[in-house]
Amino acid sequence: MTDNNISYLNKGFSEFKVNLINYAKSYFPTTYNDFSEASPGNMFIEMASYVGDVMSFYLDTQVQENFLLYAKQKENLYALSYMLGYRPKASYAAVTTVDIYQLIPFSNLGGKNVPDYFYAVVVPENTILTSANSTKFLTIEKVDFTDTSNTEIIVANNNYFILKKQVKAISAEIKSITIPFSTPQKFSTTTITDSNILQILDATDAQSNKWYEVPYLAQATVFDKIKNPTFTTDNVPYLMQLKRVPRRYVSRFLSDNTLQIEFGAGVSNKTDNTLLPTPDNIQLGLVPGISNLYNNFNKASTFYTQEYGLAPSSDVTIRYLVGGGLNANTDANKITTIDTSQIYFPSSANNSVATYVLNSIVVNNPIPASGGRNGDQVEEIRNNALYAYQSQLRAVTREDYMVRALSLPSDYGNIAKVYVTQDAAREMLPTPTVATMDDRNPLSLDMYILGYDSSKKLTTTASTLKQNLVTYIDQFRMVTDAINIKDAFYINIGINFDIAIKSGYNNNTVIVDCISILKDFFNIEKWNINQPIIISDVQSQLLSISGVQSVINLEFINKQDNTGVTYSQYGYDIPGATRQGNIYPSLDPSIFEIRYPDTDIQGRIVAV
């Protein structure tokens, strides 16, 4: 071939034509000589060039479609994004927080009227709400009015209180489909052809076995939640644990936004532990060879066990959520209808009062439902897939661990603040020696956490929450990392300030504005562990208030309570921690908090 001097660098029509003419001139000088434009033979050279051009185009396209950055066809982008760990979405649900109200009768307790929680209802999760424009919403958490925390109580009339709780809701409705199965088949696949599918809610077979969705079939465990028996004392509703699930499936959106579901390959009725690989059975199912040194031993492919999950052998009913999209975004105060058919009384109350209470339940969304939009577009898939590839669902940096800890679902406890640093004990070690290296893991990290109490004040977290966090983080932790989960310290402070005001301003108005801006500045949501107070920033806040002429005095005082009930039990030497206009937190990770802003911030107006 190469002896004929073929040029392999041609790509376009013109290049092919020139080279074909040159080739004909070189190798067929007695067969063809007329290369003028009008020559009929030229037409055939041009046709060959045309074929070459088309093939070059397809070759370029095929190569291009293999790279995420250049792929244009949606099917290829979907495949590439799944390969990199990103799951494209067919629709995004609008999210809002709704207020749910119920009337509850008085009960006389020691001469005092209190709510009679015998008539408190439970609004289960997935309760249907409807907006004025008929968009369906679902509550995503159970609302239990028997739980008195986070409940607003208002006197309605002489006989009833109003209880108010909040719950998040998403624009979605539940649909279901039954997929027929009989004889188990490896990797059975089915497709749900519906529009705006959000996710699968649950799947159950004819024997009432629950099937679990996993990110990939080789993942044999899912997070499971069990009720926390010490919930009343530590306020952690559920304990997180890993559950092994042989009945599992994966789902993936196709480019036409339908949802494909694939079940496992296990058609054996034997349990995995009976197929534990041993030197006697390890070669079963493998292609015979002289040496096993280079064989890829994979339990799943060797035995077709439950390693990739079971294949279903009876009909599977799948409930899934549809909804979302731009039209799902709803104005405030428009979600006003609630389906009460699933609401129940845990006390089994069943009388006329119970009926009256049930009919009294109303709902409203004080904030608009937002975030609803259509599914991922091509460029969104491309960029999200690149991001997913970088993160790999693994915690590598300190920030990864912090974000992962904060993302712990609220059912398993409430983490307010997280700070991750190198193991402090290791840092304080003297020059490393062989002995000390053996003693401590050089990759160990200290994760300091704090939670909120029911009044949104910082508090240390319960051991159950820490245990949940351990279980959760462990799934994303690098095997060589070690995490020590510890309580951070919170330092309670108060502020006393003196200001001079300009003439013509009302003293009370200015002082209220000053206190208000300091409350906002020290809002605990805006503060992090180990964040210093920059005194000049606080002064600037005060000076930004209209009417303030100058800040005469600005004093930060430590608030401490040895019992730890009203304030932190740990005192702090604020003057000693003040350096060059900054108040630094302690070496042990800590955070400043104004615990009671209404009383801990005090201001005066002085005459100058």
Partner 1 sequence: MPIPQVTQVNPLDLQGNIAIGVSLPFNGPVAFNSTYSTADQIKSNLINLLLTNKGERLYNPEFGANLKKVLFEGITEDTSITIQNLIYTNVGVYIPEITINDIKIITDQDNNTISITIAYTLNISGTSNQITVQFI
CB of 41 to partner 1, least distance (A): 5
Q: How far is the CB of 295 from partner 1 (least distance, A)?
A: 54
Q: Measured from the CB atom, is 17 or 559 closer to partner 1?
A: 17
Closest C-alpha among 197, 115, 122 to residue 163? 115
Closer CB to partner 1, 33 or 355, in the complex: 33
Nearer to partner 1, 44 or 70 (CB): 44
Ramachandran class of 116: left when φ > 0, alpha when ψ lies in -120 to 50, beta otherwise: beta
294: left (phi over 0), alpha (psi -120 to 50) or beta: alpha
CA proximity to 206, closest of 321, 312, 320: 312
Distances (CA, A) of 23 to 7, 10, 38, 39, 363: 9, 13, 19, 17, 82
Cα angle value 66/68/69 (rounded, 5°): 115
Nearer to partner 1, 29 or 288 (CB): 29
Nearer to partner 1, 34 or 598 (CB): 34
Task: With CA atoms as reference, report the closest residue to 18 among 41, 40, 46, 44.
Answer: 46
For the bound state, the minimum distance from the C-beta of residue 19 to partner 1, rounded and expressed in Å, comes to 15
Residue 466 exposure: Cα atoms within 13 Å on the Cβ side: 15
Give the helix, strand, coil percentages of the chain, each rounded to 5.
25, 30, 45
CB of 5 to partner 1, least distance (A): 22
- Least Cβ distance, residue 27 to partner 1 (angstroms): 14
- Residue 46 Cβ vs partner 1, minimum distance, rounded to whole Å: 6
Asked whether 408 and 415 are in contact (CB, 8 A), the reply is yes
> At closest approach, how far in Å is the CB of 56 from partner 1?
14
Q: Which is nearer to partner 1, 52 or 184 (CB)?
A: 52
Nearer to partner 1, 49 or 96 (CB): 49
Site for partner 1, rule CB under 8 A: 13-14, 17, 29-34, 36-41, 43, 46, 50
Q: With respect to partner 1, which residue has the nearer C-beta, 41 or 371?
A: 41
Q: What is the DSSP string of 73-98?
A: SHHHHHHHHHHTT----SEE--EEEE
Q: Please, what is the minimum distance in Å from the beta carbon of residue 329 to partner 1?
A: 51
* Residue 381 · residue 88 · CB < 8 Å: yes
Nearer CB in complex with partner 1: 33/536? 33
Shortest gap between Cβ of 64 and partner 1 (angstroms)? 23
254 vs 259, 325, 374, CA distance in Å? 6, 18, 15
Task: Return d(Cα 114, Cα 108) in angstroms, integer.
Answer: 6
Q: How far is the CB of 52 from partner 1 (least distance, A)?
A: 12
Phi, psi (degrees; rounded to nearest 5) at 42: -60, -30
| Residues 6 or more apart whose Cβ sits within 8 Å of residue 280 | none
Nearer to partner 1, 30 or 431 (CB): 30
